[in-house]
Amino acid sequence: MFGRLRPDQIEHKQSEGDPDDVVSSVDKAVEARLTPELLALLPGSSVVGEEAAHADPRVLDQMSLPGDIWIIDPIDGTRGFVRGDPAFGVMVALVREQKSYAAWIALPAKGQLFVAELGSGTWLDGQRITIAPSPNPNSPRGSLYTRYLPEAESTALERAARNNYTPVPGSGSAAIEYTEVIVGHKDFVVYHRLLPWDHVPGTLLVSEAGGSALLQDGSPFTPTQRLGPLIVANEPAVSERVRGWFSQLDG
């Protein structure tokens, strides 16, 4: 359906803090297809899908339960998808006993599939991949997603970071951002709003590839985390550099 959507297959989506959000018939169809397939793989498991949670916010309550939980983002980067921008992906993760256990990001327009399992590394199209060091850790390439930060904190962060990194335009898709870090096109990304379908798959993939996903205080991201700042980085030196910008805000 990429590039072939009709206007009647796209609708406005009322999302908190995102007045321009949209959903397509493809988002709904992908989630409807994946949900029963995943449940059949692990009897007794449950699913937290973006569209199901939008229809009924109580779906998110399952994230605090024990057992196996599938996370689905049927189309991440829907705004791009509906306008024919290839910067979108399909993301799935498995949370087992409150820990990120496995993750998949498919980039259909690129024909790429990223896969990770806890303790087993990250794989791109069947080949193991490890994040390369930053070519210039003193001016790392990255993106600051400050939209959901309080305005004063956002302004202060941008001031602290100015001239200390090489800005790279954001794609608007977490599927793209996380995989850009993995393949070495970016050194870091910073997020604040942490919905599980946006971040559980990518954080495991980055971590298993040798990078990190840490909160401002240095603690690791967990599947139930809802607010950041979250610093996703390719190597410790870059992570520490970005975290240092936040320490300046305290002063």
Would the CA dihedral through 46, 67, 69, 58 be positive or negative? positive
- In which band, very low, low, confident or very high, does the pLDDT at 234 lie, cut at 50, 70 and 90? very high
> How much is the average pLDDT of 131-136?
90
120 and 11 in one domain? yes
Residue span of the structural domain in which 187 resides: 141-250
Q: What is the pTM of this model?
A: 0.93
Query: How many angstroms separate the CA atoms of 138 and 250, rounded?
Result: 22
- In which band, very low, low, confident or very high, does the pLDDT at 249 lie, cut at 50, 70 and 90? low
Alpha-carbon distances of 95 from 48, 62, 120, 148, 153, rounded to whole Å: 10, 11, 15, 25, 32
> How much is the average pLDDT of 104-113?
96
pLDDT at residue 28 is higher than 90: yes
Question: Considering 129, 150, 173, which residue would you say is the last residue of a domain?
Answer: 129
Tell me the average pLDDT of the chain: 92
Q: At what angle do helices 196-208 and 174-183 cross, to 10 degrees?
A: 10
150 and 201 in one domain? yes
- In which band, very low, low, confident or very high, does the pLDDT at 114 lie, cut at 50, 70 and 90? very high
Question: Considering 78, 108, 129, which residue would you say is the last residue of a domain?
Answer: 129
- In which band, very low, low, confident or very high, does the pLDDT at 156 lie, cut at 50, 70 and 90? confident
Residue 223 sits at φ, ψ, to 5 deg, of -60, -20
